[in-house]
Amino acid sequence: MSEQSSGQSSGQSSEPSVREGRLGRQGVDGATLVCLFLLALLIIPARLVLSFVPMTLPPALLVALLLGVLWLSGQMVDTVGMSKGRNVVRTAVALYLASQLATYGVATRRWLPTDELTVADSSIIRIMSMIAVAVFVCDAIRTKERLDRVLRLVLGCAAVIAFVGLVQFGLGIDLAGYVSLPGLRTQENGYSAMESRSIFRRPTGTTNHPIEYGLVCAMAVPLGAHYVFQARDDGTPHVRWLVCLALVGLGAMTSLSRTAIVGMAVAGVIMVLTLPKQRKITTLVVGGGFLLGASLVVPGLFGTIRGMFANIEDDPSVKARTADYEAAGEQISENPLLGRGFGTYLPTKYTILDNQFLLTLIENGYFGLFALVGMFLAAAFAAIRVRMISRDEHVRSLASALLAGVLAGGIGSATFDLLGFGVATGLVFTLIGMTGALLRVARAERTTRAEPEVQEH
């Protein structure tokens, strides 16, 4: 049974679409709520948390939990326009949820030190909220136009983050540090936006760390390229999207992070491979011009970036990461299937692992690792499937941008403990959910396109 027929058998064929139109005119629907989450996630500095709760709870996490409640409520009725039916992304996210719950159950059943148990409790809340975001995005955004609205906001917010980071990088002024909101307190993360690498400051934007900042910017680069091309095709002003693209591209580079550079390179390769021939040429020319301009505007930047990769085998940070593999292997052998508990491998108590896949293997076992990788693969499959079944060039290009963004986050997980940083994690889960929503849109369009052909025969 297809998704469309499943939705019709649930009594959603006509009434939800009418209601969806009403909600769209009123400006309140699933996409609106996702936009609220993204504003809380990307614009409010990550160091600000709720002051009236004992645990570290950012405002975005509270919104995400609300989205989870709304998604669960929407699945129980057929009158609010929530999508139902099979979806490869939602299935993969459900398996990841199952792995987290199984690990938490096993970990808390045995004795845990108080500090590890406390973090395990807070970590299961954090990851459940991110899972809620992914499934809500997948099921609550039902049209191409609303999906576009959300992704434009993602790009705009990423550009704001990049601008804040560039001010930190160039002027040494932390604009995020001046933000103060009622009901929020500052939670120090032990990292200063003014710390440096080589002769340059390492910016954080509104995030908690330069690596997180760089990865967020890198994941937004393919979205910027997509909307520049779309604006040119539609004959609408594209300067604002070009500015956003330049900001996030320069933000990724000035983060001085291998994770960001590799992520942006992966995203760039995917976009070039999937673009039409004329756009390939334009992308290569514009990309080359951007790199040349950046080297002129920031003298010494490319020398520093080249040095990060040229002597990588002698880099102290790389040596520190690989030196931990033996100790990690011992931890894995103790609980190979379900791990020792999500969040319990405390960096202050054990060691810092800048590899989310390795950390997941320790904390969630092989089941959790396969589920995590499965989410990225499912999102990639959904994006590729959209390109296969859609005749709409805009939808196909959007699928390429999402594929590039998701894989940039996936590759970044190999060099960065992704799930330990809320902003990057929230954006990754949002993009994963977007691929599922776009697959629903593409399948709905294909069904609509096939109906007249059936009638003609």
pLDDT tens-digit readout, 393-434: 899 999 999 999 999 999 988 888 899 899 999 999 999 999
Does 288 map to a domain? yes
Mean pLDDT of 429-441: 95
What is the number of domains present in the chain?
A: 1
Whether residue 392 lies inside any domain: the answer is yes
Q: Identify whether 8 is part of a domain.
A: no
Residue type, 271: M
- 56 found inside a domain: yes
What per-residue confidence (pLDDT) applies to 8? 42
* 445 exposure class (CB count in 10 Å sphere: 0-12, 13-18, 19+): middle
Tell me the average pLDDT across 125-135: 95
More confident residue, 54 or 173: 173
Q: Is residue 35 very low, low, confident or very high in pLDDT (cuts 50, 70, 90)?
A: very high
Q: Exposed, middle or buried, 317 (CB in 10 Å: 0-12/13-18/19+)?
A: exposed
More confident residue, 312 or 128: 128
Alpha-carbon torsion 70, 76, 80, 83, what sign? positive
Residue 74 belongs to a domain:
yes
Do residues 155 and 224 lie in contact, with contact meaning Cβ atoms separated by under 8 Å?
yes
In a domain, 99, yes or no: no
Task: For residue 13, name the pLDDT band (cuts at 50, 70, 90).
Answer: very low
Residue 71 lies in a domain: yes
**pLDDT tens readout for residues 57-105:** 899 999 999 999 999 998 888 877 788 888 999 999 999 999 999 999 9
Highest-confidence segment of 13-22, 281-290, 308-317, 436-445? 436-445
pTM: 0.87
* Percent of the chain whose pLDDT exceeds 90: 42
Tokens encoding 334: 């103790």
Domain that holds residue 150: 27-78+112-447
**Highest mean predicted confidence (pLDDT) among 1-15, 146-160, 299-313:** 146-160
State the Cα–Cα distance between residues 126 and 68, nearest whole angstrom.
12
Q: Is the pLDDT of residue 297 over 70?
A: no
Rounded to 5°, angle at Cα 74 from 402 and 369 = 45
What is the predicted pLDDT for the residue at 279?
76
Per-residue pLDDT tens over the stretch 252-276: 888 888 888 888 888 888 888 887 7
> Which residues are within 8 A (CB) of 246 and not within 5 positions of it... i.e. 6 or more apart?
290
Region 223-250: mean pLDDT is 89
Whether 257 is in a domain gets the answer yes
Instruction: Look up tokens 């594209």; give the residue.
Output: 238
Selection from 354, 373, 361, 356 nearest residue 335 by Cα: 361
pLDDT over 70 percentage in the chain: 81
